[in-house]
Amino acid sequence: MEDSIIKTEYSELMQKSYIDYAMSVIIARALPDFRDGLKPVQRRTLYDMSALGIYSDRPYRKSARIVGDTMGKYHPHGDTSIYDCLVVMAQDFKKALPLVDGHGNFGNIEGDGAAAMRYTEARLQKITEEAFLADLDKDVVDFIPNFDETEKEPSVLPVRIPHFLINGSEGIAVGMATSTPPHNLGEVIDAEIALLDDPDLTDTDLMRFVPGPDFPTGGEVVNRDDLKEIYETGTGRIKIRGKVEVEKGKAGRTNVVITEIPYTMIGAGIGKFLSDVAQLSESKLTQDIVDITNQSSKEGIRIVIELRRDANVENFKNLLYRKTRLEDTFGVNMLGILNGKPETLGLKDILKASIDFQYETNRRKYTNLLKHEQEKREVQEGLIKACNVIDLIIEILRGSTDRAMAKKCLVEGETAGIRFRSRESEIMASQLLFTERQADAILEMRLYRLIGLEINALLKEHEQTVANIYRYEDILEEKSSMTQVIRQELLSFRKNYAVPRKTLIKQAEEARFTVEAPKEHDVLFVMDRFGYAKLLDPASLERNRDAIESEYRYYFICRSSGKICLFTDKGNLHTFKVSDLPEVKLRDKGVPVDNISNFSSDSEHVILAASQKDLNLYRLLFASRNGFVKMVDGGEFDVTRKTVAATKLADGDLLADVAVNTGAAFVVMRTAQGYMLKVRADDIPVMKKTAAGVHGIKLVKGDELDSAWLTGDNSNSIIMIKDRPFDTQGLKTAGRGTRGSKIRL
């Protein structure tokens, strides 16, 4: 066989291949069918459970068995997608009408996943059997080959309720996505019945029955005026809010309690909400939050936010709506498969698609039932006729040599070869002319059917069969009769399975809030040697002075509206707002200053922390390890940038000390080798922060300045060296730039 080369345009081949792939994903994977509201994986899972006989009145079966059977027979796309589908169909917080009865850990509303499929069990819900699978044996839908043509599966389930709207759907295909909110079963059925009775109803008319979506999590839809356009076009955005209640808390405080959440918050959204609420306090958007706790349980959602006594509750609720997912948007795109193509439909068109499907399935159902009853009537009439001439039938049977001979006599009147008692019997036998089906029934009839009561039962059964045939013919011939059948079925489902609406529909104003300026007050700033800082009540300083002095390297009173200045050994000044720190209790943990400033504990060390407002009143003493000193006006450090150079340092030099000069008379310097020098503070020149300074102490080779102090006379002359007090009054005052004296401690 010779090789043949087919030349084709690469772009055309890629385009065709991609379109084929996209349509496969759209039709066979991602989008639901408007007729039954199911995606292929859902349809196949439910059908497989039905085939396995896992009904609501039978024991649960392992989910792994269901998943494996579905994957092996109908859906060869991996076990994860099938199990995820099974789990979602069992979750009452995701589905308005759960189709699967799950047993075991099937996850929860807070986002915890279901247990592995080997641990959970499932079976069908009763409504799934009645409304989705009941008529599969009546040839009401087409069956198609499965992926390897070894099994048959329904192309669509004969769903008898408008399921597309009731449970909604979400799915992402290639270039398109579907997102339909769930609705209340009773309301949707009422709308479908109304459309059955009056096909001229508009979308607006139908909204008298379906005012809006009904989410399993409850909550509130707050843009009622937009729903009309959404239901007319099939697309739009629904604003949903959680349900908020106000309760009295402890000590006269107010508790804001979230008892229902937006549908979009299911799962990780709850944890994100709690984090966002905490962030509101940290970012100072509100000062009202005292505490937040998640008290949710199997009984329902309960998130409690404790507010201060004087909090503006309405303003705080609006803040939650604007800054958290307590108010969220549900994007609507009611896209599904209609006549083999993806379509976006409005409310009326979706209900009409369901009604048309009901007419089609009922037509096929009653055509099948009529055929069955007609066959049944044929057999019954043959048995009744046979009972009337039972002696002749027995004579034919006894006179025949085999079944074929007897049947030929019953059907065709052929009497050759049959021994009759009389010529009259033979003539009567030639005139019987039963049908094939009647002859088979007569030949298989048991003798007990000849009992008088059995004959009477056969006559009554025949009467019922005739009545059924008349009824089925009427349903098939008269559209009004068919409509009444569909109507009664819908009313039955409404009576047995309708539940009250959970979601409130209203038109609310856009949430607006005001950010109140935080009240300025005094706070106690504390920072430990590890760089963790926090704010305390100033009164705690007197109550816990010993603990604060021993545990914290820096502490001072400052204003809540001020800034904190950190001077480092690299000569840098880092600033941050006091309000960036949490106001907590003494034993609560602070936050690393690395997190709220440009300071990095890995590359530099803090040598002074001070309030920027206090620095404006005084001068600062700078002393470097190379022995350079200077005074700088504190006002130079009133900067807006978070990081600036606090002083100029030579290469290799570091700051040894920075001290606030509140009116000291002397400056005492000490080197690493123990030399100490006391000079008058007035001898240290006042310079700009960009200056390097002047020689403060003369260093011997290999020595460096270790520390510098600002001291006064009398009690102000005591300094601490290596945690031991030292009185500087014993030091002689010398000139700046000299070596000083070596002091042994």
Residues designated as active site: 119
Q: Give, for 440, the enclosing helix (H) or strand (E).
A: helix 436-444
Contact 48, 55 (CB under 8 A): no
User: In the numeric block, which tokens belong to residue 555?
Assistant: 């502490």
Q: Are 50 and 136 in contact (CB under 8 A)?
A: yes
Strand 235-241, strand 243-248: pairing: unpaired
Q: How many CB atoms lie within 10 A of CB 181?
A: 24
Element (DSSP H or E) covering residue 675? strand 675-680
Hey, which residues does 644 pair with through a beta bridge? 573
Q: How far apart are the first and last CA of the chain?
A: 107
**Contact yes or no for 172/179 (Cβ under 8 A):** no
DSSP 382-401: HHHHHHHTHHHHHHHHHH-S
SS3 state at 1: coil
Angle at CA of residue 11, ends 5 and 15, nearest 5°: 110
Of the candidates 216, 212, 476, 495, the residue with the CA atom closest to the CA atom of residue 361 = 476
Task: Enumerate the β-bridge partners of residue 328.
Answer: 240
For CA atoms 380, 381, 386, 387, the dihedral sign is positive
Chain centroid to CA 691: 59
DSSP assignment string, 327-372 = EEEEEEE-EEEETTEEEE--HHHHHHHHHHHHHHHHHHHHHHHHHH
Helix (H, G, I), strand (E, B) or coil at 181: coil
List CB contacts of 103: < 8 A, sequence separation 6 or more.
Answer: 60, 120, 121, 122, 123
DSSP letter for each residue of 252-307: G-EEEEEEE--GGGTTHHHHHHHHHHHHHHHTTS-S-EEEEEE--BTTB--EEEEE
Torsion of CA 163, 167, 168, 171, to 10 degrees: -100
**Distance in angstroms (rounded) separating the CA atoms of residues 719 and 485:** 101
CA angle 529, 531, 532 (to 5 degrees): 105
Q: Which two three-digit tokens encode residue 221?
A: 């839809």
Q: Where are the beta strands (DSSP E) in 438-515?
A: 504-505
